[in-house]
Structure formats: structure tokens, C-alpha cells
Structure 1
């Protein structure tokens, strides 16, 4: 008598883990963003399909003919990458960021104004209505959201390959800016956000659903860039510095507190955010063969940059989206990935 062997069914969690990895996601991080019901759901045969549907919507994937998760074909994007970087390395990050942008755009309360004002106009408005003679991160966030441009700060994308520092995409009838550069201190986000605003203001982004400009690296000092990148940098510098020329550098290292005081005095004198002054000085100074960024980070703590970037961005989002317009799953997702 022949006894038929039994094939053990694949554990649903392991099955999803394989699919996450194949789609470029970090399984451990991806599982942490799933809604509370997912573990109970996969205990039933149809539950895996329900979880796949959630992931496809919120991570920018699709369900293939075999019923499994896979990368989705994305609309055209203009990738600004460093020499030697394969665009395929950033695909997963772009897809996830686009999916998040769609969710946020769907609940944004202010309509898209159709354009961002000139850098000079935004700078004058910020300084006139603000408490300082410079443009800070709170000013940039207010300028974007008040013109119907959501700003999404996602420094920890759960992807296995490379990610970009900044991106702007057109979703739900509006541009959405996404910054993924890790920036504990607001000063680190200033130039990246202003650069992405430049892409919008200069008309670089096609207003077609899903179109995107993906900046792997955003740097004030980049000179070997295309015309769009140069224009976005010019816009950012006009907005942050009033178009003042020249780079700041340090003649010698100094204690963090002294550097902070010097930057604040200089900032009040010339109308530039002291945090930007500190980072500019660090990027243009070299001691013992290295840029003094540890010194810069220590100095930032002495100038009142005590509110983390993530907190500022979360507060701005809470003020400008209608949470009741989101499904319970989407709202929980935004909370789990740290946006709310």
C-alpha cells in the first residue's frame, strides 16, 4: 500500500516575509507598519490576500497574476543620481514614498494654489511675519502647506536598497514633497526642502499623476549638475540667504558654544538661519582632512534647535490634513510610520 506524503502548508508570515523581501522591503520593518488585525487575519486562508491588499496600497506595490506582491510599474520620473548609481536601486523607495504621498494628498485640506511663489516673495513674507530676520524650517513648512503642497518627512524608509534624500511627486492633483534625509536638527532639512520647493516653483515637475523628480543627493555645493538641479539650488539659496554669494568657512576649530554664538550673531547680521550658517561653515572647512560635522552638530544644540525635525513636520501635518478623510487603516499606517 502506498502512503501519500503530506506537504506542510507554508506559514503565512514566512510567505509574506519572502514577498516583502522580493519587492525590496525590509520584512521586520514592514510588519511593524501593518494594522493590528493582520496576525488574526492570516490565520484564515483569505487573510493573506487581505494583508497583501493593504501592503499594495500603502507601499506602492501590486498583486501579480500569481496572487503575490510585486513591484508596480511606475509613471515616468526624472532621477537625479550620483555617478555609478543604478536607478533600480531607488525604485522601491520611490514606490513607497509615492504611495504615502497619495494617502497624505487625499486628506490635505488646502487646495493646490497652482504654483509656489518666487523665492524672493516667500522670503519677504516669512521675514515680515516671522520673529527672526531669516527663513527657518517652520517658515518653509508653512509656505508649502499654505499653498497646498504637503511635506512628508520619512527618514526611515523600510526598504532594502538605496533611498533618495528628497523627492517631489504629483499625486491627487497636487505636488507632494518627501524628504528622507535623516535630519535630527531642523537645519539639516532646510536646504533639501528648499531645493524641492525650487523644482515646483521653477516648473520642473509635470503635473500628471505619478510624475516625479527623485533627488538621490541634494547638496548646496554641487556644481556638476544639470540645469534643473542648478535652478533648484539657485531658488533654495535665494530663499534661504537672499541670494548672498560666498561660502562661510572656519579658520580654526572652536568650542561648540562659541560656534553657536558666532553663527547666531552672523545670522542676525546677514539674515541667514544660524543652523544653515553652521552647516555651511562645516561643509567648507577641513581640519585634519575631515569636515568638522561633529562640531557642527554639537553647535546646533547651542542655538535652540531643540525641537526635532520629525516633531515639527508631524505638527505641520496634523494642522493641515483632515484625519476624518482617512480610512482607519490609512490613519493607523501614517501613525505607525511616524508621520502623525
Structure 2
């Protein structure tokens, strides 16, 4: 027998996880959803399916009146800093896990192992950047070698590492600043920091790249609440030093005020993603969900309207 549940029941159950109705309507339901549909039992069942799919929830638990809602099983996860698996962290955990799944599915790439020697990686990145410049620009790069966000993104995608930015977490949910997840035999890095500053986001990306290069995560998922330059954790210290030795300025991550010289970092990251996603692989709902949570400009940038 098909279970019967009202929309108010669904909203109440999801509020137990800290996911409020406004967020559900904005991100977890399709654009054609309206209040009239919330009074129709068949439509509510369909809506529950969309919510479960987009947020990574177990549909059976969502529909059962006498069960709390549960997230689908997650891969083995290493938590850093103050994270512990409670509902405030599991919501963010589930959202980024679902996005990483979708991005891994929608991009075709083969992961190439990266060296543990940070100087070797730095040399590879600078050589690639130099080759892309006209001759007069190469002289400037030689005098003042710098690695910025776009150079890091070029390197990551070249190595088969997908990178995206997502920070649209529900209110009252403990956000995630950075995470690495393995899907389809390759890593996906998600940067969840709210910063727009490219320099700050570049440091976070270099930090996560350090975890991969140093072998801190070879399967499953690593979740970081924040990148702490003073963390006593050995792996965190090594990842920070990796980013610094790569040529990133640690003052960028600790600065309270964003630099006006490096705006729009989030858009830069997701523009790279948009150019590499095979949008035809997604069904209409997945397509729309990616547009919503990653930004409409993402699709428009590659001519998708």
C-alpha cells in the first residue's frame, strides 16, 4: 500500500534535521512546484521523491510517519577540526556528497596520481602557466613566479581532479569549508567557504590538494569545517605547509577583509566546472538542481539556457 503523508508532515520531519520549508522550496523542489500541489496527496509523494533525491535522503524513511528521516549511507569519512556526526553536520555532509556524485557522473576524466613533492607540482604548474603566456609575459612570470586560483584549477582538471564551489547550505547548518570525496576512482574537491576572494579560495584548494598529494585520503571522504593555520593535527599542518610551499600566501586565508584584487573566485571555479560537465548526461531534475545550487550563470556560460 502506498504511504500517505501530507506536505506539512514532510516539512515537520525535515525541520528535525534543521532543514526549513523555505530551503526545501528553494532548492529541494522543482521550479514548477506550487502551494496548490501541496494539497494533493499524489503530488506530495512525487515531491518527496524530488526532495530525497536532491538532498541524499532515504525516501522510505521520509515517507514513514513513525520513522525519523535518514540520510542515505555515506562513505567512510574522516572529520577534521570540531566536526562530529550530528544532524547539523550530516546535512552539509549529505549535500556535498550528493553534489560530488553528480559531478563525477557528469565529467569524463581519468585521475593521474600527483607527486608528493610540492616543488615538483609547483614546477609543473609554473611551466604550464608559462607556456600559455606570450613571450613578454614569460619574462614577467620568471621574475615573479606566482600560482593563483586559475593555475591551480588548470592543474587539478589536468590531473583528473574535479573541483566545484558550493556554499548554499541551509541556515543553522554547520557549513563545510573544504572536502575531498572519491567517486568513480577519482577525487572530487568541493570548496564550501563563503569567500568570493580568489586568493582565499586558492589557499583552500591548495590545502586540499596537499591532502591528496601526501596520501591523507585514498578512498572515502574527508570533511573539514575550516582550514585552521594553527591546527595541532599533523595532517592539517602538513597540508597547510604544502599550500605555503606551493607558493600560496597564508595571510590570504586569515585575512578578515577580502582583497578587491581577486574577486569572483566562486564564479571562476564553477565556470571551469561548467565547461567540463556533460550536461546531456543529466535528467531534467538533476540539470535544474545543478543550476540552482551552483548558479544559473554556470549554464549560461557554456551557452545553455
Instruction: Pick the TM interval, shorter chain.
Output: 0.7 to 0.9
Q: Residue by residue, what CA displacement relative to the aligned partner does 1:185-220 show, whole Å, maximum 9, x if unpaired?
A: 11111211111111112222232xxx211111113x
Cα drift, residue 152 of structure 1: 1.7
Residues in 2 aligned to 1:174 and 1:47: alpha-carbon distance in whole angstroms: 38
TM-score by length of 2: 0.80
Match of 2:114 in 1: 116
Residues in 1 aligned to 2:62 and 2:179: alpha-carbon distance in whole angstroms: 32
Cα distance 1:24–1:64, how it changes in 2: closer, same or farther (>3 A)? Answer: farther
Q: How many equivalent residue pairs? A: 272
1:335 to 291, 296, 300: 291
Residues in 2 aligned to 1:234 and 1:170: alpha-carbon distance in whole angstroms: 23
Cα drift, residue 318 of structure 1: 1.1
Match of 2:232 in 1: 224
Q: Residue by residue, what CA displacement relative to the aligned partner does 1:279-308 show, whole Å, maximum 9, x if unpaired?
A: 37xx4xxxxxxxx734xx3xx21x3x24x0
Instruction: Report which of the two structures shows the higher radius of gyration computed on alpha carbons.
Output: 1
1:112–1:174 Cα contact (<8 Å) kept:
yes
1:25 aligns with 2:19: yes
Gaps of at least 5 residues in structure 2 are 134-140, 299-305
Runs of 4 or more, structure 1, over 4 Å off, are 40-43
TM-score by length of 1: 0.72
2:5–2:45 Cα contact (<8 Å) kept:
no
Residues in 2 aligned to 1:174 and 1:24: alpha-carbon distance in whole angstroms: 31
Higher helix share: 2
2:80–2:223 Cα contact (<8 Å) kept:
yes
Cα distance 1:48–1:237, how it changes in 2: closer, same or farther (>3 A)? Answer: same
Match of 1:200 in 2: 212
Match of 2:79 in 1: 79
Gaps of at least 5 residues in structure 1 are 1-8, 242-275, 284-291
1:26–1:158 Cα contact (<8 Å) kept:
yes
1:316 aligns with 2:272: yes
Residues in 1 aligned to 2:170 and 2:230: alpha-carbon distance in whole angstroms: 28
Cα drift, residue 223 of structure 1: 4.2
RMSD of aligned residue pairs (Cα, Å):
2.4
